[in-house]
Amino acid sequence: MIREINFDGLIGPTHNYAALSFGNLASASNAGATSRPREAALQGLAKMRFAMSLGLTQGFLLPLERPNAAWLRQLGFAGDDAAVCAATYAADPRLFAQACSASSMWTANAATVSPAADTADGRTHLSVANLSRMTHRSIEHTETLAQLRLAFADPGFSVHPAVPATFGDEGAANHMRLTARHGEPGVEVFVYGEEGGKFPARQNRRASEAVARRHGLDPAWTLFVAQSQTAIDAGAFHNDVVAVANEHVLFAHEHAFADPAQLKADLARLMPGAIVVEVPASAVSLADAIASYLFNSQLVTLPDGTMALILPMESHDCAPVKAYLDALVAGNGPIRAVHYVQVRESMRNGGGPACLRLRVVADPATIDDRFLLDAAKADRLEALVTRHWPEAIGPNDLGNPDLWAQAWAARKALLAELGF
């Protein structure tokens, strides 16, 4: 049966705080902090389990190989993997940190997905994101492509490589879809930024247009919408930091878009049943929205047809946001419940519940079963993480050869456990 499946990124063993993402306030402000990779991965798995407990279908994607010695070799470092890492760390510690990043955990940036109901050939199209605006993320797409081609090998899917990197593309983090029901045709909304602000605009309009063409979307049902410069400057480096959509509901901050009136008019024209739940700055300031990640929540349709928000605990702990959410649930709107999950390790790098998942509308029976989760597999993954993931990584630990060996061994054990 066709449904929405959330593919969360299993958080990798090198998760750390190297402040690699300029414009992402959380990443910058936790520079040099000590990370807890084991706890991070367990928090991620607990969130996946929670989603399953709500009756949702859950998948996951694997962490990529880090440190990425193959990439460092392309940059001229020579020798075996450990020698390449040692030479890079000695020559350029920041470059080495980029090769170590566990950033593929944020699978909202893995790809843009257009469900079969929207595309000309009736297949579900996935375009891997090039992530070219951040060096540490620009090295994800080749391995991500290989993984998505495995997971979505069924002829009902078409998996495209990244669009050329001159056009920055950040995938589903800047893409929303409004539809009466997941399996039905929808309006696809691509959100892009414009250069010239305080921080880099990470999604480019031409990249979005290329993705829409490759997916065979109907231009009449495809919107290209500019992010507001105010939002980007306030730290909304992706649209999913200030907006989230599910089926007929768009939940967004008043200052998310450059021209919200136009977007609302277009939605009303294309989808008269669409509801925009707009949060005014007078209730939640842009700064509170970004610090609490109110909008980086998963807006989901439960099996009984009602909608719920899965939010980070930081939203619970921000008084104006909590007050807004309490009133939202008490009111008569389409969002009937809110749930808070603990994903603090990821949040400290600017990744909330929505960043950690890639949504795919499909029949689970058409997906490689190794990428789907159930309670028994979650047990096995938790045991494996507990055995193999480092407990902590401090600012000076990235140069430690024992850490590299542990990270490679952990990933190898994971692949073996899952039958890859």
Active site residues: 170, 238, 355
Site string for ligand SUG, 314-353 (x = CB under 6 A): -----------------------------------xxx--
Tell me how far apart the alpha carbons of residues 57 and 379 are, in angstroms, rounded to a whole number.
17
Judged on CB neighbours under 10 Å (0-12, 13-18, 19+), 74 is exposed
CA distances (Å), origin 17, targets 13, 58, 72: 13, 27, 20
Q: Report in angstroms how near the CB of residue 56 gets to ligand SUG at its nearest.
A: 19
CA 104, chain centre distance (Å): 8
Other Cβ atoms closer than 10 A to 64: 22
Quick one: which segment of 100-108, 146-154, 181-189, 320-328 binds ligand SUG (CB under 6 A)? 100-108
104 binds ligand SUG (CB under 6 A): no
Tell me how far apart the alpha carbons of residues 299 and 318 are, in angstroms, rounded to a whole number.
19
Residue 296 or 301 having the CB closest to ligand SUG = 296
Considering only 106, 190, 389, 408, the residue that binds ligand SUG (CB under 6 A) is 106
Residue 123 or 235 having the CB closest to ligand SUG = 235
Considering only 14, 21, 228, 298, the residue that binds ligand SUG (CB under 6 A) is 21
What are the structure tokens assigned to 403, written together?
């850490």
- The number of residues making up the chain comes to 420
Instruction: Provide CB contacts within 8 A for 156, sequence distance 6+.
Output: 116, 123, 124, 362, 363, 366
What are the structure tokens assigned to 98, written together?
């980029």
Residue 186 or 351 having the CB closest to ligand SUG = 351
What letter does residue 56 receive in the DSSP assignment? -
What are the structure tokens assigned to 366, written together?
């058409």
Considering only 42, 45, 173, 232, the residue that binds ligand SUG (CB under 6 A) is 173
Considering only 101, 104, 144, 228, the residue that binds ligand SUG (CB under 6 A) is 101
Residue 241 or 258 having the CB closest to ligand SUG = 241
Quick one: which segment of 17-25, 117-125, 146-154, 203-211 binds ligand SUG (CB under 6 A)? 17-25
CB 281 within 8 A of CB 253: yes
Residue 30 or 57 having the CB closest to ligand SUG = 30
Instruction: Provide CB contacts within 8 A for 309, sequence distance 6+.
Output: 251, 297, 298, 299, 300, 325, 335, 337, 338, 339
Q: What is the identity of the amino acid at 118?
A: D
Quick one: which segment of 16-24, 75-83, 300-308, 412-420 binds ligand SUG (CB under 6 A)? 16-24
Tell me how far apart the alpha carbons of residues 184 and 320 are, in angstroms, rounded to a whole number.
36
Q: Report in angstroms how near the CB of residue 203 gets to ligand SUG at its nearest.
A: 11
CB 248 within 8 A of CB 274: yes
Site string for ligand SUG, 202-241 (x = CB under 6 A): -----------------------------------xx-xx
151 binds ligand SUG (CB under 6 A): no
Q: Report in angstroms how near the CB of residue 251 gets to ligand SUG at its nearest.
A: 15
Binding site for ligand SUG (CB under 6 A): 17-21, 24, 27, 101, 103, 106, 108-109, 134, 137, 173, 237-238, 240-241, 349-351, 355
